Structure formats: structure tokens, C-alpha cells
Structure 1
Amino acid sequence: MVATDVTGAEGVVPLRIDTPFLVGAVNVWLIEDEPLTLVDTGANTGTGLLQLRGLLAQHGYGLADVGRIVVTHQHLDHAGLAGPLAQVSGAEVVAFTGMDEYLAGGPASALAEERFDRDLMRHNGVPATTVAGWWAARPDTRGFASEVPAVRTVADGDALTFAGRTLHVHHRPGHSPSDLVLHDRDRGTLIVGDHLLAGHPPVPMIGPSLPGDAPRGRPDPAAPAGDDDAPFTVARRGSALLDLRDSLRRTRELGAAIALTGHGAAITDVAANVDRRLAEHDASAEALLAELRRDGPGTGHELSVRTAPGGRAHPYFGLCGTLGALDQLVDEGHALVADGDGPPRYEAR
């Protein structure tokens, strides 16, 4: 369902763009101000570009009228079309620090991220046959990415100015390393991408850190102490769930009334949504701790399968959720990584 109830979001209009992914349509937000701005783009497909052109025309605009494109995060249903759209319109592209190099890589960046996902699964005990099957069955995401040669980067605390409003930039990693939200303080409105969702909770997706000097976020709390400047690998991954929980708390403190989301309906009680997500994390961690105490230690993959309904967990998304809950348990002192070779095995304290 597209976010149509945006009372209070003056001059911000949702454009519903279909994507080739299971998540379905994405909300591209049209800011009718100067410069005319799109927040997110959809995936790089001809259908998406034609839909966007048609929806803009319904509001009296053409692609050439777009002066700015803001990317809320790196996932292809939000950023994939940025390259062709910028080329057609001449608009500047704005994204978080480190996204200039990431978006310039386009398909190569998408492939590198998928290879990290594959290595993460192997490192945490997913069988090689399962990894190979996932790799063969996945859509080739390189085709839904695009190269963006020129990107204006922003950092936490920056602001985007318009003729009739100012949007304050806040870095909110967790769903991805590059998530940002845009806060209109005067109207009490946030544009949040996938940082907040009204329906399914955002997945804390573990991935490689952004290039350059972009912040890395919270490290895996179970990782052995070592050189903080060592290369970022699956063995030294960040904790997406701990990042997300920190980000949610900071978003709650903004006191915004409305959150315009990347998928589905707008959120009209931001504080309640944040509290619900934090409570869901706590419940998942408690259930996993009970599983560890009842049936003993396990790898991230084994625990993901043991706690999944019917024992069937997505090899990557399920693993990310389980590792997030394990990170929370280790961070809170309820679990640890057992000694031994091979994939990390977690046990209750």
C-alpha cells in the first residue's frame, strides 16, 4: 500500500514505483520545492523510469524539471535508477559519505556486496551447497544498478536547503551502513527510507563498510580484540542490529510526528513505532537465549534454522536476523562465542 496519508507533509508527494524485488513497490518522494527533488529512485529498469515519468507528468512535471535526487541508502530498490535519471534530468545526486565511490561503481559495487554476503554465510556455517544454491537462484542484481559518476556527499548534521524548507540530515545505520533520514523540523516530518517501516520490521543487513572515511558503526561484540585499522572482513564485521538500535533511539529523540517511509504507509506515531521495534528485538533475543539454554550451542546458521518457523530460514536474511539477536545477547552479557575452530559457535553464559 502506498503512503497516501501524509497529512502535515506539506509539498511532499509519494510516487509509487514498481521494483523487480520481493519487497514490491518503493515510495519515491517528490518534494515540490526549489529545487524540485526526488528522494530515492527505484531500481534501474525501463518500467521504473517510464512509471516515474508518467507520475511526474500527473503532477505537471517532466524528468528535466528534477533538480536534485537524494538517495536514502544503497539498496537497489532505492538507488538503482539514480544514474540514468541524473543523466536524463541533469539533477545533482546527494547521498551519505562514502556513497560517492559506492555509486560510481554501480554494478561492481552491487556484486562486491553480494560476494560479501556469500562469504558471511560461509563464515557462519551455512553449507556450501546452500550458498551455491542461493547464489545461482538470486536475481542478477548488477542489471538493476547504475553508475553515478558525480555524487554530492553529506554527513550527519548537514542540511539540504530549499526555497521553502530545510531538511536536516541524520545518519541512521542499521538497515544498511549508508541509511540517512531527512528531518523537516518546522513541519515535524521525517523522510526515512527503510530506517522505519510501518509493516514488516527493517532487516539489520550485515554488509561491507562504506568506502573512504565513512563511519563504521558498532563492531561485532563477539569478535576478538584486535587492530581497529585492520581490513573490514566478514571475520571483523560490524553489528547491524546494534547500529540499528542506536539509530532508532536517536530518531525517537527527534520528536517528529510523521515518518514518510520507503515502502508502505506513512508512520503517524514515530515514538510508538520505535518502541515496538526495540521491543521486537528484545523478544527475539530472549527467544534465542531460551533456545541456547534448552538445546545448546550452535553456529549462526544452525540457530537461524532452529528458531525459524518450520526450520526454514532464508540463508542470508535469516542469518542477519539471528546474528543481530546474538550480538545483542553478547553485548548484554548473556551469551559468548565458544572456543574452537571452524564457524563461530555461540553459547549461553
Structure 2
Amino acid sequence: MQRIRLTNTVFEGLNNVYVLEGPANGDRGEELVLVDAGVALPDVREQLAAGLADFGHEIADVDRVLLTHWHADHAGLAGAIQAESGATVHVHEADAPLVAGDEASVEEERRLQQEKFREWGIPEQTRAELVDFLTDHADLSGEPCDVTPFAGGDEFAVGGRTLEAVHLPGHAAGLSAFHDPAADEAFVGDVILPKYTPNVGGADIRVDDPLGRYVRSLLDLIDLDPGTAWPGHRDRIDDPAGRAATILRHHVERTENVVDALADLGPSTPWEVSAALFGDLHGIHVLHGPGEAYAHLDHLAGAGVVERDGTRYTLVDADPAVSALFPDPGIDRVVEWTGE
């Protein structure tokens, strides 16, 4: 396995594309498989081509692309790769319509965004600026492509190894890891990251109960317990279960911060709570900040700690046992990081 590092100045930064090569099934000889594809920018495509050249390949040699999820920084170049090489593009069935560019699915996602932006209490002018930002960066998703959907539990024979797709939604509806039990490693996309915590709530507005669903995915990754995780951004994670447990505890602390913010502010929108948590927001974070606040408020509402009235949430339990609203990860290891 080889890794190609790609720049990404719009989103989290430093995307990874993983290169797997080896014997193919049947009589097809050797094959070249990528895990994720990078964002659709000319300079990033050049970086991908240069990285493949370092390993003796070119984009036209790619046989398959395994996508961890639909976000532009992971799937954006999949269509261009397919157009040049004829590669098969695999993505979880929940994300397949967006990667394929299905017009009805894309329009529904945009409609849901507008609905959520109002529900989160984002001011009208800021909403308009956010929509402009998303529209201006729509090309980062690249060309639509023909996709081959998969489901959790499906297996891929790749270069003499078997990768199992493990569905771990939360950050995205179709987010999946590719687990190789024999090598004791997994390609995890944005399930866990070594520096930041993956956004929940804003990153994919299609996900119901985003924080609760993400917490369950963290527990599933802890149960899987691979020795090594290869994330979608930055560097290898050597204790994935410990990192997942750290992120889970981080969300307990963030929920406590949301309770404190409501106690100080009184009835508030997710936008107002996000300002208390994160301060001024710019670019993609205008989406991610209130989305993250909403995910925690929604979790508290489900537990009866807060009540929602229109766009505002009111604290009804002045002293909740927040830790009791989350499962115990079952391990004591803590993997620290720098950043949010």
C-alpha cells in the first residue's frame, strides 16, 4: 500500500489517497485500486498524477476507486478518473446518488440545507452568503460518474487482500471504512481523524440524530479495534480505538458546554449556541458550526434535557447528568490531539 498526499485549501486539508495494487480476480492480471480520489481541482489532479507516476502508474491505469463517502474532498476526482481510465467507482448506497450526480437527490439535498439553515437560526444575510459559498465551490465535486453501490458487510478482493466495507455513518450518511482483518488495519475516511474531530450535523444534513448515530459508529469502530487506521486526512492513527474513545469523550464535554451556553444565554438557536462555542465563523465553518451545535442540542432534546420551540432550544433540566446520556466507550486509553 502506498499513500499520496493531496493539498486541500477549502476543507480540512491534507487529503490522503491510498494506492493498492496486486493480482486481480480472474484473468485480468494486475490491477490498480485507489481508496478515495481527492478534490476536483486542476492542481490536485496534477498532484494525483504525479503521485501515481512515482509508483510507476498513471491515472489511465486505475481499475477501481473505493470511496469512503461522498464529500468533494474525497470523491471529487472520481468522475475524472473514471472518464480517463474506465475505472469502476464504488460508494455506499446511501451516498451513491450524490456521487452519481442524480438531479433529484442533489436538489433534495439543497432543499434540506435551506430548511436546516432556517431551523438553525442562521441570519438571513449569513444564509445568503453561505449559499453563495456553497454554490461557488460546487465544482469541487467534479464530474458525475457511474457508480457501483455497496452495503455494509460487502467485501472487495484487492491486491491479494480482502477488504470488508464497514458502514459507520454520522459525519456522512454513507461513510464507510474498509477493514482488512488479516493486516489488522482499516481505511477509515473521516470516521476518526488524527488532529480534528469530524463534523457532525453540518457535514451531511441528511443524517437523522447525527450525534447519536456518530457515537454508535465510534463504538462500532472501538469494537472493530484495528491495529492501524489510515484516515482521509493527515497521518496514520496507531490506536484507532483509543482515538475513537477520546473523540467520544470530547463530545460529552462539548455537550456539557452546550448546556452551559444555554444556562447563560437562555432560549437560543443553534446559531447563537455555535457563536458561544466557536466565536465568529467563516467559509465552510458557517455550515459546520451551527450544524455541530444543532447535533448536540438535538441529542439533548431527545433525552428531555432541553425543549425545542421553533428555532429555539430551552434548558428544562438545570443540572443534567450529561455523561449518562452517552455510552461508556469501555476503554481507558486516551489519544490526545491538537485543534478542535
Please give the TM-score of this superposition, normalised by the length of structure 2.
0.83
Which residue pairs with 1:73 in the alignment? 69
Distance in structure 1 (CA, Å) of the matches to 2:295 and 2:130 = 21
- Verify the 8 A CA contact 1:71 1:93 in the aligned structure 2: yes
Which residue pairs with 2:195 in the alignment? 199
Distance in structure 1 (CA, Å) of the matches to 2:133 and 2:143 = 24
- Verify the 8 A CA contact 1:36 1:65 in the aligned structure 2: yes
Which aligned pairs between 1:241-256 and structure 2 lie closer than 5 A? 241-256=211-226
- Verify the 8 A CA contact 2:201 2:288 in the aligned structure 1: yes
Which residue pairs with 2:84 in the alignment? 88
**2:6 is the alignment partner of 1:17:** yes
Which residue pairs with 2:231 in the alignment? 261
Distance in structure 2 (CA, Å) of the matches to 1:144 and 1:307 = 29
**2:101 is the alignment partner of 1:105:** yes
Which residue pairs with 1:43 in the alignment? 39
Offset, 1:112: 5.5
User: For residue 237 of structure 2, what is the amino acid of its counterpart?
Assistant: I
% identical aligned pairs:
30
Unaligned 5+ segments in structure 2 are 24-30, 318-340
Moved over 6 A (4+): none
Which aligned pairs between 1:205-224 and structure 2 lie closer than 5 A? 205-206=201-202, 207-209=204-206
**2:136 is the alignment partner of 1:140:** yes
Distance in structure 2 (CA, Å) of the matches to 1:305 and 1:45 = 32
**2:316 is the alignment partner of 1:348:** yes
SS in 2 for 1:36: strand
Which residue pairs with 1:27 in the alignment? 16
* Pick aligned residue for 1:323 from 273, 289, 294: 294
Q: Deviations over 1:99-141 (max 9, x none)?
A: 3322221798667545533331112211111111222345622
Which aligned pairs between 1:305-320 and structure 2 lie closer than 5 A? 305-309=275-279, 314-320=285-291
Q: Deviations over 1:291-327 (max 9, x none)?
A: 2234322121222223334x65843211111112112
Segment drifting more, 199-208 vs 181-190: 199-208
- Verify the 8 A CA contact 1:40 1:70 in the aligned structure 2: yes
SS in 2 for 1:317: helix
**2:292 is the alignment partner of 1:292:** no
Specify whether residues 251 and 100 from structure 1 end up closer, same or farther in structure 2 by C-alpha distance, changes over 3 A only.
same
Please give the TM-score of this superposition, normalised by the length of structure 1.
0.81
Which residue pairs with 2:169 in the alignment? 173
Unaligned 5+ segments in structure 1 are 1-11, 210-216, 218-237
- Verify the 8 A CA contact 1:96 1:178 in the aligned structure 2: yes
- Verify the 8 A CA contact 1:103 1:109 in the aligned structure 2: no
Distance in structure 1 (CA, Å) of the matches to 2:240 and 2:80 = 34
Specify whether residues 90 and 139 from structure 1 end up closer, same or farther in structure 2 by C-alpha distance, changes over 3 A only.
same
User: For residue 306 of structure 1, what is the amino acid of its counterpart?
Assistant: A
- RMSD in angstroms over aligned alpha carbons? 2.2
Offset, 1:264: 0.6
Distance in structure 2 (CA, Å) of the matches to 1:99 and 1:295 = 37
Specify whether residues 296 and 282 from structure 1 end up closer, same or farther in structure 2 by C-alpha distance, changes over 3 A only.
same
Distance in structure 2 (CA, Å) of the matches to 1:307 and 1:45 = 32
Distance in structure 2 (CA, Å) of the matches to 1:320 and 1:253 = 27
